[in-house]
């Protein structure tokens, strides 16, 4: 899917979906789409009217692994998201949380 066409409304039904990703060394990892929500861009940072409402996706992954911020391809039976820039934003004994922002 073209990430430029992706919207929050398209992703909300997929909350709870498991996505697979393959790391550069061939290691496979699974992450769950935990939330899809609108993302507020402050007026100072918003240069022009966006083509879509900004939104963020939140994924939960294995708590024993913290992936570096980078671009990853996430695959599920329903959808493949190529070159998504994810950032680790939280970590505890239950999961590592990642965020991907789309503006």
Q: Which pLDDT belongs to residue 39?
A: 87
pTM of the model: 0.89
Q: Which pLDDT belongs to residue 84?
A: 97
d(CA 34, CA 58): 5
For the chain, helix (H) and strand (E) counts, in that order, are 1, 6
Q: What is the pLDDT of residues 56-66, one digit of tens each?
A: 999 999 999 99
Return the bridge partners of 37, or none. Answer: 56
H/E run at residue 34: strand 28-38
Residue pointed to by tokens 């680790």: 88
Q: What is the pLDDT of residues 1-54, one digit of tens each?
A: 788 899 999 999 999 999 999 998 999 999 999 999 998 876 656 566 667 789
């Amino acid at each position: 899917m073209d990430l430029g066409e992706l919207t929050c409304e398209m992703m909300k039904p997929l909350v709870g979906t498991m996505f697979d990703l393959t790391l550069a060394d061939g290691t496979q990892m699974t992450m769950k789409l935990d939330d899809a929500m609108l993302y507020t861009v402050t007026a100072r940072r918003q240069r022009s009217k966006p083509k879509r409402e900004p939104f963020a996706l939140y994924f939960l992954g294995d708590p024993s692994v913290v992936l570096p911020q980078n671009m990853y391809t996430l695959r599920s039976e329903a959808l493949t998201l190529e070159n998504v820039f994810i950032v680790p934003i939280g970590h505890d004994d239950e999961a590592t949380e990642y965020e991907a922002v789309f503006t």
